Amino acid sequence: WERCQTRSREGPDAPAGQGQQAGVRDKRASGGLEMPFATRETETLFREQPKIGNQYLEDALLQSYLKTHLPPKVREEVSQDLEKFGNRLLTEIKPLAWECELNPPVFRQYDAWGQRLDHIITCPAWKRMKEIAAEEGLIAEAYKRRYSNWSRVHQAIKLYLFSNSSGGFSCPLAMTDGAATVIESLGIPGSLKNAFHHLTSRDPKKFWTSGQWMTERRGGSDVANGTETVARKQPVGAYHLYGFKWFTSAADSDVTLTLARIADDQGHVKQGSGGLSLFFLKVRDEEGKLNNIKVQRLKDKLGTRQMATAELWLDGAKAELISAEGRGVASISSMLNITRIHNVIAAVASMRRMINLSREYALRRVAFGKPLKDHPLHMQTIARMEVQTRGAFLLLMEIVRLLGLVETNMANEQDQLLLRLLIPVAKLYTGKQASAVVVEAMECFGGQGYMEDTGLPVIVRDTLVLSIWEGTTNILSLDVLRSLTKSQGQVMAVFSSTVQRKLELASSTEKLEPAVKLMRDAISSLGRLVQRAGSKGAVTMELAARDFSYSLARIYAGALLIEHAARPGSSSTDVSAARRWCNQELCPVATELKNGSYDAEEAFMDSCLVYDGSPVSPSKL
């Protein structure tokens, strides 16, 4: 932010009001008459620039969460590390992030003599981000497990603080974390032991990042039917991959995991998800040359411009089969869980950053004779965003807490079922929340929020992808339904009982009684809906999937906010946040079902409304 601002004659550290004092001196020098506008020093917005400090120390909700949940010794050590990291973010990492934004990757396909190079050139700041990620253990922390099941919480908080100052480097870290999880879930076989050590190293010279090459031309989330890449087995046991990867984020990564169909001796492949296997490959060989990979082009994206996203031809890329044949989708599922959690981290972090800037700006900006903080409507707007962010933050912390239990074999069956449900729920809901909050927060700056050199549009653009990455809202809503079906209803029983237990903690807190009542009504409505789900057709359940997932997110986040407000030593703002959250419609699926929104006739009218007035006549639908 600071690097982009218009700088006054007095310099970037001039105290507030100095610009006005200079204006007074000019006026006196001219005999008391105001100078013409064209020759008068232009007053700048310098004094109104919002400045943020150590983001760990300024996050009261984060600190109260750690105090409530972490064991005292763990909390003391983690807190020291986070405070130190917060200072490093301000002094070193944040300027690097802006350098990454100003210097996006460049693709050089040929040299001056027509020789094909396929070089993706990234700036020094991007390379430095990789070193910092290793030094800070942003991946290693989760696998060294210094704090047992709390190591995932520690890692997630560091990533949360890092996200909006990472210059886009959070994305390759997400895929690196996912790749390490996949390798660990396979038992770290001997052939992958070296790769695992590189992916989880704290040594900048040894640290590797990983890609996740799944999207192809025919499909995004539909990998079962959209994957065309073919794997041909070689006499030595390795495989050569042939295909076109349509969307590869962080294409400058060291290694990647990817899906492909193994061809038999006649060149035939099995279609569907049962024909997909998982492969590991190095992007470059020992000499630094691409592994029979050709770069088609870099994507021209709305946001995340700091990161190289490319189209790649695999023309005999050497790869290692790391899953059982036909078990690629099942093997990579653990990677998707991790990257979806990283997506939630990014969503919550972007909301928190925009709110921090908005409230700081409200202290400095004067409009209509008083600071913005003294305008009730303005403060109400920021407060509403704050409530959304608090719910999203606690939902994130709940997921990483459960993940830590699972990874250290401390989770029971209920914990595992709950984690399976909450990951897609949290990802889809926070992705939508973040888009709404950052756009609302941008408005809090007026016209300044729309100016590129403030840095605010960067946050907005980079946030908008979060509802798309790792599965769109509708795709994940259907995944939520699959989790219900696969568990034969067990997961909903666990969900309901967990929410009820959290509400019981607030039963003796009078100020929370209205919120608890609203929550119990919502969970009852949801329970009745689930009981009737068996009598509903597949189309009805699909139509209800999105609202059902939203209901799960709102109810569970509400329970977490109430639990946090009911703890000893909670503040009045904790109570207010819980009550305000619960005043929204907690179970929209019940309301829409009552209104008949999921009937077959309504589904037909959806298509009619969409295509009314288009070349496709509604009568033909």
Residues 77 and 66: beta-carbon distance below 8 Å: no
CA distance 255 to 335: 14
User: Shortest CA distance to 1 belongs to which of 38, 68, 49, 45?
Assistant: 49
Residues 341 and 400: beta-carbon distance below 8 Å: yes
Q: Does residue 600 sit in helix, strand or coil? A: helix
In a domain, 605, yes or no: yes
CA distance 559 to 511: 15
- At residue 537, the pLDDT reads 77
CA distance 444 to 366: 13
What phi, psi does 480 have (nearest 5°)? -60, -45
- At residue 594, the pLDDT reads 83
- At residue 7, the pLDDT reads 34
- pLDDT tens-digit profile of 226-271? 899 999 999 988 999 999 999 999 999 999 999 999 999 888 999 9
In a domain, 354, yes or no: no
Enter the DSSP assignment of 304.
-
Range in 16-30, 53-67, 309-323, 518-532 the model is least confident about: 16-30
- At residue 41, the pLDDT reads 55
Which single residue is written with the structure tokens 């696969």?
486
Judged against a pLDDT cut of 70, whether residue 36 lies above it is answered with: no
Give the 3-state DSSP-derived string for 442-455, with helices as H, strands as E and coil as C: HHCCHHHHHCHHHC
The CA-atom distances, in angstroms, between 92 and each of 51, 80, 173, 365 are 16, 18, 19, 28
The answer to whether the Cα torsion of 141, 215, 183, 118 is positive or negative is: negative
- At residue 583, the pLDDT reads 97
CA distance 244 to 260: 11
Judged against a pLDDT cut of 90, whether residue 26 lies above it is answered with: no
Range in 2-16, 117-131, 453-467, 484-498 the model is least confident about: 2-16
For 300, other C-beta atoms within 10 Å of its C-beta total 7
User: For the chain, how many structural domains are there in total?
Assistant: 1
Q: What is the dihedral of CA 283, 289, 291, 293, to 10 degrees?
A: 90
In a domain, 557, yes or no: yes
In a domain, 544, yes or no: yes
- pLDDT tens-digit profile of 177-216? 999 999 999 999 999 999 999 999 999 999 999 999 999 9
Judged against a pLDDT cut of 90, whether residue 34 lies above it is answered with: no
In a domain, 451, yes or no: no
- pLDDT tens-digit profile of 145-179? 999 999 999 999 999 999 999 999 999 999 999 99
Mode of pairing for the β-strands spanning 210-213 and 230-233: unpaired
CA distance 472 to 153: 26
In a domain, 522, yes or no: yes
CA distance 42 to 51: 22
| 256 CB-near residues (< 8 Å, 6+ apart) | 175, 179, 210, 211, 212, 213, 248, 280, 281, 283
365/43: higher pLDDT: 365
- At residue 196, the pLDDT reads 98
Residues 323 and 435: beta-carbon distance below 8 Å: no
pTM of the model: 0.92
The token duo for 537 is 């057709």
Judged against a pLDDT cut of 90, whether residue 508 lies above it is answered with: no
In a domain, 587, yes or no: yes
- At residue 284, the pLDDT reads 96
Mark residue 377 as left, alpha or beta (left: phi above 0; alpha: psi -120 to 50; beta: remaining).
alpha
Q: pLDDT category, 218, cuts 50, 70, 90?
A: confident
Which single residue is written with the structure tokens 């990647």?
256
Mean pLDDT, rounded, for 61-66: 97
- pLDDT tens-digit profile of 361-374? 999 999 999 999 99
- At residue 11, the pLDDT reads 34
In a domain, 564, yes or no: yes
Residues 608 and 621: beta-carbon distance below 8 Å: yes
- At residue 22, the pLDDT reads 41
Mean confidence (pLDDT) of the chain: 90
User: Shortest CA distance to 257 belongs to which of 201, 187, 174?
Assistant: 174
- What residues make up the domain containing 565? 494-620
Judged against a pLDDT cut of 90, whether residue 355 lies above it is answered with: yes
Q: DSSP per residue over 332-345, as a string?
A: HHHHHHHHHHHHHH
CA distance 434 to 566: 26
